[in-house]
Amino acid sequence: MMKIKNIAITIILILCFSFVFNNKINAQYLENDPTPAQRVFWGGNVGLMFGTYTYISLNPIVGYRLTNRLSAGVGGTYNWTKSKYYNYSGQSYGANVFASFTIIKNIGDVIPIYNAGGLLLYAELSYLNISNYYSITLPNQPSWVYTPLAGIAYQSKIGIKSYLIFMVLYNFNESSYSPYSNPVIKASFQF
């Protein structure tokens, strides 16, 4: 119950943050025929949790806006966890490829109640080395695990070329080896 409450609070804070900044910035730089260098974006996210269970996650990305609606890119992943309760620590690392397609650039154009961000389709395929992540519970697990993720995302401008993206994804390889359980909820920045 506490996990669901924390997720709900996080979602509300992210949406409030994105709505505040979205009203301030209305530039549509991709509509103005950008140069190839202007189409490159970078960003990612950092996850931190400390206490009895400590978790650190670094997920940098770099991508390219192929069109006004279609983007693709690559990223890296590093996760480290430590549990004082189980006297355990482990890590995973790997890479991913992703693509997103903008379905609605401005939700406010469809629902005329608020000038809001956009709605995206998002897909990602990650390939993670988990050999030192589950070693305490699964001694004979595979070293590398692929994880196909897909779902929807909400994108809000926070700068001329900066976005906050909130994603709700489905893990199509939810197994005992996969580090992601359904639903997979992510938030990231793009610059």
Neighbours of 75 (CB within 10 A): 21
97 or 186: which leads in pLDDT: 97
Position 82 pLDDT exceeds 70:
yes
CATH at residue 39: 2.40.160.20
Cβ distance 124 to 149 under 8 Å? yes
As a whole number, mean pLDDT of residues 78-86 equals 84
Would you state the pLDDT for residue 54? 86
Would you state the pLDDT for residue 30? 56
90 or 176: which leads in pLDDT: 90
Position 32 pLDDT exceeds 80:
no
Q: What is the pLDDT of the chain when averaged over all its residues?
A: 79
pTM for this entry? 0.75
As a whole number, mean pLDDT of residues 132-152 equals 74
Position 107 pLDDT exceeds 70:
yes
Would you state the pLDDT for residue 106? 83
Distance between first and last Cα of the chain: 35
For the chain, state the CA radius of gyration. 18
Confidence class of residue 48 from pLDDT cuts 50, 70 and 90?
Answer: confident
Would you state the pLDDT for residue 169? 93
Confidence class of residue 60 from pLDDT cuts 50, 70 and 90?
Answer: very high
The total domain count for the chain is 1
- 85-108 core/surface letters (b: 16 or more CB in 10 A; e: else): eeeeebebbbebebbbebebbbbb
Cβ distance 67 to 90 under 8 Å? no
Would you state the pLDDT for residue 120? 94
124 or 55: which leads in pLDDT: 124
- Full residue range of the structural domain in which residue 93 is found: 2-190
- 125-154 core/surface letters (b: 16 or more CB in 10 A; e: else): bbebbbbebbeeeeeeeeeebebebbbebb
Cβ distance 122 to 103 under 8 Å? no
